[in-house]
């Protein structure tokens, strides 16, 4: 997939940031070091700093554009290009930390459920994450349906339904001797403004693989498939998410997990 657009992702910043704040609020320990897996453009670093101002922080992301934006916005911070799987395997640039936290990233990692114990092992105190749980919502069902039509299907192929677990799945994956695990879900109802707000929302996140494929085809062949897809997908979204006098409501389910060590903690903090 082509690189992410930090500018597009930062639209609806308040709505996208809220789950991270609620995740941070459920971390009971006081970390001296924090690793943020999938830090994006660094817009949530301030939430960590406000909660734990003395903690040493490293943000990791696999997107060069996101890391560049984070470094430019926060030149005193530390942001490194890294893959979640490398961090789980101990090959990442950050090393272990007291708190390993992640917001809306793990759903992009194939087989992330099986990876969770290894990720938790890199946390000396707490491993905490949230993932979108809305992949059967109308927005994502319609993405798959419209992309399955010609002429789009020949370009993008089958659109994967991302395998995100329910709270019970994450509890099962993380429950082990020496750990206390808290999992839950929340459905937010965001009220979005402007024209085609749900299209703009999903175009910055879940629809990225489809849109990148269409953009690449247009560049290579001089077609206008991206514009046609936006029109068809936008029309379907407007029907599924009608505008109200107060804005366009978007129900967005999130799944959360906080795993806290209860034995064998090492409180000495260091980030490599």
Average pLDDT, the chain: 89
Q: Identify the burial level of 144 via C-beta atoms within 10 angstroms of its C-beta, where 0-12 means exposed, 13-18 middle and 19 or more buried.
A: middle
User: What DSSP letter does each residue of 6-46 carry, written as one string?
Assistant: HHHHTTTHHHHHHHHHHHHHT--S--SEEEEET-TTSTTHH
Rounded Cα gap, residues 135 and 208, in angstroms: 14
pLDDT value of residue 267: 41
pLDDT at 3 over 60: no
* Contact by Cβ (8 Å): 22, 55: no
- 4-63 pLDDT, tens per residue? 455 555 456 677 788 999 999 999 999 999 999 999 888 888 889 999 999 999 999 999
Candidate from 102-116, 211-225, 237-251, 255-269 with smallest mean pLDDT: 255-269
pLDDT at 76 over 50: yes
- 108-146 pLDDT, tens per residue? 898 899 999 999 999 999 999 999 998 889 999 999 999
Q: The pTM is what?
A: 0.85
pLDDT value of residue 7: 52
For residue 261, which of 78, 64, 121 has the smallest C-alpha distance? 121
- 156-193 pLDDT, tens per residue? 998 887 778 999 999 999 999 999 999 999 999 999 99
- 240-261 pLDDT, tens per residue? 999 999 999 999 999 999 999 9
Q: Is the dihedral of CA 163, 65, 70, 196 positive or negative?
A: negative
Long-range pairs of 243-249 with CB within 8 A, sequence gap ≥ 24 = 246/191, 247/191, 247/192, 247/193, 247/197, 248/191, 248/192, 248/193, 248/197, 248/198, 249/189, 249/190, 249/191, 249/192
pLDDT at 271 over 70: no
CATH 3.40.50.150 fits 6-261, yes or no: yes
All structural domains of the chain with their residue ranges? 6-261
């Amino acid at each position: 997939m082509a690189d992410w657009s930090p500018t597009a992702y930062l639209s609806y910043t308040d709505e996208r940031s809220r789950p991270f704040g609620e995740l941070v609020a459920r971390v009971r320990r006081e970390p001296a070091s924090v690793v943020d897996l999938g830090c994006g453009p660094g817009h949530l670093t301030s939430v960590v700093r406000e909660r734990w101002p003395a903690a040493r922080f490293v943000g990791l992301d696999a997107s060069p554009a996101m890391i560049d934006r984070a470094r430019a916005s926060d030149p005193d911070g530390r942001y490194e290009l890294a893959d979640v799987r490398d961090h789980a395997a101990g090959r990442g640039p950050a090393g272990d930390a007291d708190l390993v936290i992640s917001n809306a990233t793990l759903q992009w990692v194939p087989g992330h459920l099986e990876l969770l114990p290894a990720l938790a092992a890199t946390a000396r105190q707490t491993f905490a994450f949230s993932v979108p749980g809305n992949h059967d919502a109308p927005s994502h069902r319609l993405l798959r349906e419209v992309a399955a039509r010609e002429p789009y299907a020949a370009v993008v192929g089958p659109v994967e339904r991302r395998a995100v677990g329910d709270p019970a799945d994450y509890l099962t994956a993380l429950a082990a001797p020496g750990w206390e695990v808290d999992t839950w879900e929340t459905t937010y109802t965001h009220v979005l403004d402007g024209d085609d707000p749900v299209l703009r929302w999903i175009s910055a996140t879940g629809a990225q693989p489809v849109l990148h494929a269409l953009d690449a085809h247009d560049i290579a062949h001089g077609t206008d498939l991206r514009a046609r897809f936006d029109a068809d997908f936008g029309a379907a979204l407007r029907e599924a998410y009608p505008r109200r006098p107060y804005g366009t409501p978007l129900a967005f389910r999130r799944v959360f997990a906080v795993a806290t060590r209860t034995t064998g903690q090492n409180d000495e903090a260091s980030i490599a």
